[in-house]
Amino acid sequence: MTKYFHTGLMFEPRAFWDVKRVEATTEQQTVLFDTREAFMNGSRYPIEITEFSLAPINYLAAADLAGTGRASGQAVFNAAEAVLAVRQRQNYSRFPIRLPGYSSTPSQEPGMAYYVPQVNNLKNASGLLGISHKRFDRSLVLPQYGSVEIQLSTYIGAAPAMATVAPPTFSVAWFEAGGLLEGSSRILTQRPLRDAASPESALYGQVIPFNGEIPSLLSTNATFPPEHLFTTKQFRAQSPTVQGAQRFTGVTVQIDQIDYDAIFSGGGAPPVDAPMTPLSLRTGCRIRTTDGGTKMDWWRPGAPIGLVLNTISAALTYRLPRPITLEPGDQMEVELTVPPNAGSEEQPDTYSIGVALNGYAVIQG
């Protein structure tokens, strides 16, 4: 453990992210992720970027009903080209990088599509475990009574009309090193995941596809409802009986959407004959240390869970051969060239893409 201290440096995970709605056209187009300062290091500390994650955000299903696969937004990643650059200073490639030309990091959880064919009602389930896990590149060290807070947002697109099922639930685990069994965890178990009462209070707007009114299962107007917070008090209450600083090695958010998937796949209206999208690509999160550490948000609040907790997640993740360091004030430019995508009946006008640059802040003093 001493090796984590003798440098005098501390590390906290960080991510820069953005979600863009793109107009579906028959022409190839270049999309600049230009939300103001989304990719700027506005902190006092250098940030090392180690991974690049992409995912279709806020889709109900992972493919369209006609089975073409286009409407999910997933298809664009088969043909997309990316540009990563620091404006007027550093381009990381001479031409846009063709994403299919690079091997992504194995980061998916097992899918259900090819489970026993006799059990066809499971083939459209969103996944086996429903988790988004982040293993920290560098451990997060907190003082003995330090704490960290995680909060989830709502999602939109609750259920087809007349569905009467329990809402999805979420759980959280912080993985901690040390102790008699080499580790332990601080856990928040199974809380209902609330949905947004209206598109105005939803982080990423209306879910795609949108088929008229979508009744809620358990709704709220708050974007980050207090019930979705793993509080400092709950976190500290699980402090192990060990002296000194604590070293955290990862965090997991698990969303149980078994019943939620079933209402769309099991004959509800409108049924979706396609794999459901994990709610981790429709729900945002915010994390910050509250005692110890920088006490800054690890990323702009609202990052899709799957984009930033990306060691195991539904997002597509590329690990950079070497980290890119963003000094305070540096800004990355992220562009994606996407192929023609004319839209379809279910997804008439737009599709939606999320991008994140993941890494960690290097903190001195």
Partner 1 sequence: MERMKDWLVKAAKQIQLDGVLYEPRVYFDVFTISSDQNPSQIVSGSPNNIFVNGEQFPVSLQWMTATMLPAAEIGDNFGDPRLLQRIGLRVRYHDQYYMARTHAPIALWANTPNAAPAFVSPSTASWDFEQPFVLSARDSLQITVQADPILAPPFSEGLEATVSVSLHGIGLLSERPYFFSGKTVLTDTTSTNLPTTFFRNDGSEPVVIGGMVLNGFFSAPSDAANVTFPASAIRVQCRQIGNGTNADWMQGPSPVFSSQVPAALLGAKTGFNMLHRIPGNGWQWRPGEGIEIDVNNLGLPGDGQEPLTYRVAVACLGYIAVQ
CA 22 – CA 112 distance, rounded (Å)? 29
| One of 256, 297, 333, 335 touching partner 1 (CB under 8 A) | 256
Choose the stretch contacting partner 1; rule: CB under 8 A; options: 90-98, 187-195, 290-298, 347-355.
187-195
Question: Residues near 322 by Cβ (< 8 Å), separated by ≥ 6?
Answer: none
Q: Which is nearer to partner 1, 41 or 107 (CB)?
A: 107
Copy the structure tokens of residue 310.
């990306």
CA 292 – CA 232 distance, rounded (Å)? 12
DSSP secondary structure letter of residue 348 = -
| One of 8, 67, 101, 106 touching partner 1 (CB under 8 A) | 106
* Angle subtended at Cα 301 by Cα 20 and Cα 82, rounded to the nearest 5 degrees: 35
Residue 286 · residue 305 · CB < 8 Å: no
> What is the DSSP pairing of strand 246-256 with strand 131-142?
antiparallel
Helix (H) or strand (E) holding 172: strand 169-177
Residue 99 CB neighbour total at 10 angstroms: 20
Residue 288 · residue 298 · CB < 8 Å: yes
Q: Which is nearer to partner 1, 8 or 116 (CB)?
A: 116
Minimum distance, C-beta of residue 107 to partner 1, in the bound complex (Å): 5
Choose the stretch contacting partner 1; rule: CB under 8 A; options: 32-40, 102-110, 299-307, 319-327.
102-110
Q: Which is nearer to partner 1, 53 or 347 (CB)?
A: 53
Q: Where are the alpha helices (DSSP H) in the chain?
A: 232-237, 258-265, 305-308
Minimum distance, C-beta of residue 182 to partner 1, in the bound complex (Å): 3
CA 16 – CA 334 distance, rounded (Å)? 10
Q: Quick one: the chain helix, strand, coil %, rounded to 5?
A: 10, 40, 50
Q: Does 181 bind partner 1 (CB under 8 A)?
A: yes
Q: Does 125 bind partner 1 (CB under 8 A)?
A: yes
Report the b/e string of 269-280 with b at 16+ CB within 10 A. eeebebbbbbbb
Q: Which is nearer to partner 1, 123 or 300 (CB)?
A: 123
Q: Does 118 bind partner 1 (CB under 8 A)?
A: yes
| One of 216, 232, 254, 350 touching partner 1 (CB under 8 A) | 254
Minimum distance, C-beta of residue 275 to partner 1, in the bound complex (Å): 10
Radius of gyration from C-alpha coordinates of the chain: 20
| One of 83, 245, 258, 296 touching partner 1 (CB under 8 A) | 258
| One of 83, 177, 229, 320 touching partner 1 (CB under 8 A) | 177
Minimum distance, C-beta of residue 120 to partner 1, in the bound complex (Å): 9
Residue 235 CB neighbour total at 10 angstroms: 22
Q: Does 119 bind partner 1 (CB under 8 A)?
A: yes
Q: Does 78 bind partner 1 (CB under 8 A)?
A: no
CA 242 – CA 361 distance, rounded (Å)? 26
Q: Which is nearer to partner 1, 157 or 168 (CB)?
A: 168
Binding mask 304-343 for partner 1 (x = CB under 8 A): -------xx-------------------------------
Q: Does 2 bind partner 1 (CB under 8 A)?
A: no
Q: Does 190 bind partner 1 (CB under 8 A)?
A: yes
- Total number of residues binding partner 1 (CB under 8 A)? 49
Q: Tally helices (H) and strands (E) across the chain.
A: 3, 19
Q: Which is nearer to partner 1, 39 or 235 (CB)?
A: 235
Residues within the interface to partner 1 (CB under 8 A): 106-119, 122, 125, 127-131, 133, 135, 169, 171-173, 175, 177, 179-187, 189-190, 238, 249-250, 252, 254, 256, 258, 311-312
